[in-house]
Chains A and B, each alone.
Chain A
Amino acid sequence: MHRPRFRWHIAVFLAPAVLVYTAVMIFPLFNTLRLALYSKVDQERVFVGLENFRTLFLDPVWSEPFWNALGNNFWFFIVHMLVQNPIGIALAAILSHPRLRFAALYRSAIFIPTILSFVIVGFAWKLILSPIWGIAPSMLDAVGMKSLFAPWLGKEEYALTTLALISVWQFVGIPMMLIYAALLAIPEEILEAGEVDGITGLSAFWKIKLPLILPSVGIISILTFVGNFNAFDLIYAAQGALAGPDFSTDILGTYMYRTFFGFQLQLGDPHMGSAIASGMFAIILIGVCIYLFGIQTRMRRYQL
């Protein structure tokens, strides 16, 4: 076999994409990572190594909001894993029911929120949840449960969970569609074989379908993880950069944003902001690696 001649036009075709991309997206990224290693002392930028990270983890002024944001971010992620993904799987199971008519219509209605931008989502939910002008108090009143209403977005103990649920509402269409596709891909013969053995209905779902769609469940878990630890827009659109009330909805994204650009009287600190950004990047990278090398390889065995 002769080695194929190096084809120049291939390199030429790839070059614009790679070069432009590197220059405009990767360069700022490295710049951010680099900034994390410097600090400003007397108007002069000096190299401080990992000092910023030490400050971030150990100096109470920085570490307290950092751990708060990290904890909130984990809660945000857990709500998605416990609510969004099971609901998505359940919806997919319902929609893939062979005798269900108009499945495409239901699917669209559930999927539409995913296409909306965060500014619209924030506004649409304010119309509903606003304690004075929203529709939620009146609706609960109509069914005699007004006492259940609370200004969910304004109370420290509820705000983060409420926002996480709004985010669940927005994105549940993605796990639903993924699982839906996976369920449809299961060969009819396998299900029929189960039926012969008397496994039908719900038990068919638990014993046959669920194990077969586990790889897709893995994919939605990692997509959820990356999405949640990068989350910023929804919190910012609904609660502003201060992630109120009293920082109870502060996640890593909003904390980093405040640090970078400053808020109220505190000046922005690009170096500390970069340190937080690098931390987020590391968390996401670790999560993705665990998935790729720990979970995915193990799950391959069961793949169809």
Chain B
Amino acid sequence: MAAVAQTSRFGNVFWPVLAWVVALVFFFPIFWMVFTSFKTDADAVKPEHLFVFKPTLENYLNMTENYDYWRFAINSAITATFATLFALAVGVPAAYAMAFNPSRHTKDVLVWMLSTKMLPAAAVLYPMTFLTKNFLQIYDTHFLIILVLCLINLPIVIWMLFTYFKEIPKEIIEAGKMDGVSTWGEIKDILIPLAWGGVASTALLCFIFCWNEAYWTVRLTTTEAATLSKLIEGNRAPEGLFFGRLSAVSTAAVGPIVVLGWFCQKQLVRGLTFGAVK
């Protein structure tokens, strides 16, 4: 008996301490970036000011002046919002059709959409650049970025909505049908209210992915539709020179998303693992 009590006491101290250490180690790089953002550019690279320094907000206050932060932030917000709305507009009917009227080909459609996730994005970049720049002439427009963001997230959006819709008993929808509710009514008055949480999480997830997207937004924009990813990517060159202000603008670029992500990790995991985790 005594041995059991001892091990559990040891466990009571050991596991929390271990968990703390691991969490701190993992969080450190992000903490450090935020920490550095309160140093002046000169202090940021001086070893003697590693931990002791005079904190300043100057990097944040000069963000607009130094980097034109808001222009990029607004572009990010516009493209992510509209891409999410469009993805939902196309995704909800598609997921509805697959969840409540499954046919032999439902699985095929889902796999068909996910299959492009297996392909390196770099492989379609060449035809895409050519198509948008020389042929359609929509390169570096909000429209293009919204379209691309919407499309790359569409498989996950549909897949997620599909898993959420699947959880709703079919009978409820059938009952609506019996009462002569139109298909549009079924979606609007029965499905959406019931699956509200799922739709909201999907939208949030899509928004986060859009905001973070760095591959296409960096390569398909120059100035007009450039997002925060482009801003950070474009300013990483002068190493060591502007560590303070770069940290500030990076923090400002991911801040909103980290806060959002913190609150919806469960949905994020569901999306990142294609619904394998409920």
Contacts and interface: CB of A to CB of B under 8 A. Distances in A.
Interface of A: 7, 9-10, 13-14, 16-18, 20-21, 24-29, 31-32, 35, 91, 94-95, 97, 99-103, 105-120, 122-128, 130, 132-133, 135, 137-138, 169, 172-174, 177-178, 181, 201, 216, 219, 223, 226, 229-230, 232-233, 237, 252-253, 256-257, 260-261, 270, 273-274, 277, 280-281, 284-285, 288
9 contacts: A35-B126, A106-B22, A120-B232, A135-B50, A174-B273, A216-B276, A237-B233, A277-B122, A281-B119
Contact of B15 (A13, A97, A125, A277): A97
A135 to B, nearest CB: 6
B22 A29 contact: no
B180 interface: no
B80 interface: no
Nearest to A6: B103
A216 B214 CA distance: 29
A150 to B, nearest CB: 17
B253 A226 contact: no
What range describes how many residues of B lie at the interface?
Answer: 35 or more
Contact of B120 (A122, A178, A277, A288): A277
Contacts of B278: 181
Interface in B1-38: 7, 11-12, 15-16, 18-20, 22-24, 26-27, 29-30, 32-33, 36
A117 B213 contact: yes
Contacts of A110: 22-23, 26-27
Given A111-B261, A123-B33, A223-B273, 20 more contacts: A10-B101, A17-B93, A17-B154, A94-B15, A103-B19, A107-B265, A110-B26, A110-B27, A115-B254, A116-B254, A124-B250, A130-B239, A138-B47, A138-B50, A178-B269, A226-B117, A226-B118, A232-B120, A237-B233, A274-B126
Contact of A174 (B27, B155, B239, B272): B272
A110 B126 CA distance: 36
A94 B22 contact: yes
Contacts of B23: 105-106, 109-110
A95 B273 CA distance: 19
A28 B152 CA distance: 13
Between A107, A113, A177, the greatest number of chain B beta carbons within 10 A of the residue's beta carbon is seen for A177
Contacts of B11: 97, 99
A135 B93 contact: no
A177 B90 contact: no
B229 interface: yes
B122 A257 contact: yes
A256 B118 contact: no
Given A99-B12, A226-B118, A230-B121, A219 B254 contact: no
Contacts of B276: 178, 216, 219
B120 A28 contact: no
Given A32-B124, A107-B265, A122-B236, A100 B16 contact: yes
Given A25-B116, A112-B262, A127-B32, A100 B91 contact: no
Contact of B214 (A26, A91, A112, A119): A119
Interface of B: 7, 11-12, 15-16, 18-20, 22-24, 26-27, 29-30, 32-33, 36, 44-45, 47, 50, 90-91, 93-94, 96-98, 101, 109, 112-113, 116-128, 131, 147, 151-152, 154-155, 158, 183, 208, 212-215, 218, 229, 232-233, 236, 239-240, 243, 246-247, 250, 253-254, 257-258, 261-262, 265, 268-269, 272-273, 276-278
Contacts of A229: 120
Contacts of A126: 236, 239
A281 B124 CA distance: 12
Contact of A177 (B19, B96, B151, B277): B277
Contacts of B240: 130, 132-133
A56 B28 CA distance: 43
A99 B19 CA distance: 12
A120 B247 CA distance: 9
Contact of A124 (B19, B26, B33, B257): B33
B26 A28 contact: no
A120 B151 contact: no
Nearest to A238: B236
Nearest to B278: A181
B30 A124 contact: yes
A277 B123 contact: yes
